[in-house]
Copies of this chain bind each other. A is one copy, B any other.
Amino acid sequence: MKLASDVAVVHGEEELFARTAHLFAGAEEVICAANTLNTWAVSRQRRVPSGEATGRRVRKLYRPGVLLEPGPAAHLRELERLGAEIRITPDEINETIILDRRTAILAGDLSYGERSFSVVTRPEVVQSVLSLFNAAWRGGTPVSAFDAEFAEVRALLPRILDALASGCKDETAARTLGLGLRTYRRRVAELMSALGATSRFQAGARARELGLI
């Protein structure tokens, strides 16, 4: 990776971390968008324990899915306690980091088993990415509000998931759970929204992916 270039590509999180650690360490504004907490394992492991509360502004935007697992949800609350702003968006987002409005790190496809990252310093591009992020950010919900809203949903979730995973039809599932058909389907819709899924197949895959089944 040449730092002199406007756009550089690195392969794998290791290399990304090796090349950009100093940027993370010195950054006064950190912006991060991701679908899961796993994606930016690099940044997560090393930065959080150290001084998060040094006055710098940290904004993170996630998909609702992260709140469905206890671990990540707790992690997010911890981050928030340390001063980070965390929001949730139902829209699909490409994984992105923006540092000090000067450097953008964009996750690319998986190639040869490793994810590639584009490190962009060209101002116009960074500005463009930043504006897109801000748009998504405005559309997001603060995690605290979102979390509260989902607290009770999570209580019913396991049973809904069981019903869905058993492959029975809504009619049966609703009766089994002692719910009206309409209400059951409302729950399923909420669940799918939480999983960011647009079809039941996708929802099933996501649920399994998150270990909810």
Interface size on A, residues (CB 8 A): 20
Q: In the bound complex, how far is the Cα of B197 from the Cα of A201, in angstroms?
A: 11
**A188 CA / B59 CA spacing, docked (Å):** 41
Q: What is the bound-complex CA distance between A202 and B198, given in angstroms?
A: 15
Task: Report yes or no: A164 in contact with B208, Cβ–Cβ below 8 A.
Answer: no
Which residues from chain B contact A207 at a C-beta distance below 8 Å? 201, 204-205
A169 to B198 CA separation, bound complex (whole angstroms): 9
In whole angstroms, how far apart are the Cα atoms of A166 and B209 in the complex?
Answer: 14
Are B198's CB and A201's CB within 8 A?
no
Interchain CA distance A203-B208 in the complex, whole Å: 11
Whole-angstrom CA separation of A176 from B200 in the bound complex:
20
Is A165 engaged at the interface, CB distance under 8 Å to the other chain?
yes
Q: Which of A169, A201, A203 has the most chain B CB atoms inside 10 A of its CB? A: A201
Q: A207–B200 Cα gap in the complex (Å)? A: 13
CB neighbours of A94 from chain B (8 A): none
Cβ contact of A203, chosen from B166, B198, B204, B213, cutoff 8 A = B204
A199 CB, min distance to chain B CBs, angstroms: 5
Interface residues of A in 142-188 (CB under 8 A from B): 164-169
Q: Are B197 and A167 in contact (CB under 8 A)?
A: yes
Give chain B nearest CB distance to A198 CB in angstroms: 4
Query: What are the 9 tightest A-B residue pairs by CB atom distance, in nearest-first order?
Result: A204-B204, A208-B208, A167-B198, A204-B205, A167-B202, A201-B204, A200-B201, A205-B208, A164-B201
Of the A-B pairs whose beta carbons lie under 8 Å apart in the complex, a sample of 24, sorted by A's number, is A164-B199, A164-B202, A164-B205, A165-B201, A165-B205, A166-B202, A167-B201, A167-B202, A168-B198, A168-B199, A169-B199, A199-B200, A200-B201, A201-B201, A201-B207, A203-B204, A204-B204, A204-B205, A204-B206, A205-B205, A205-B207, A205-B213, A206-B208, A209-B213
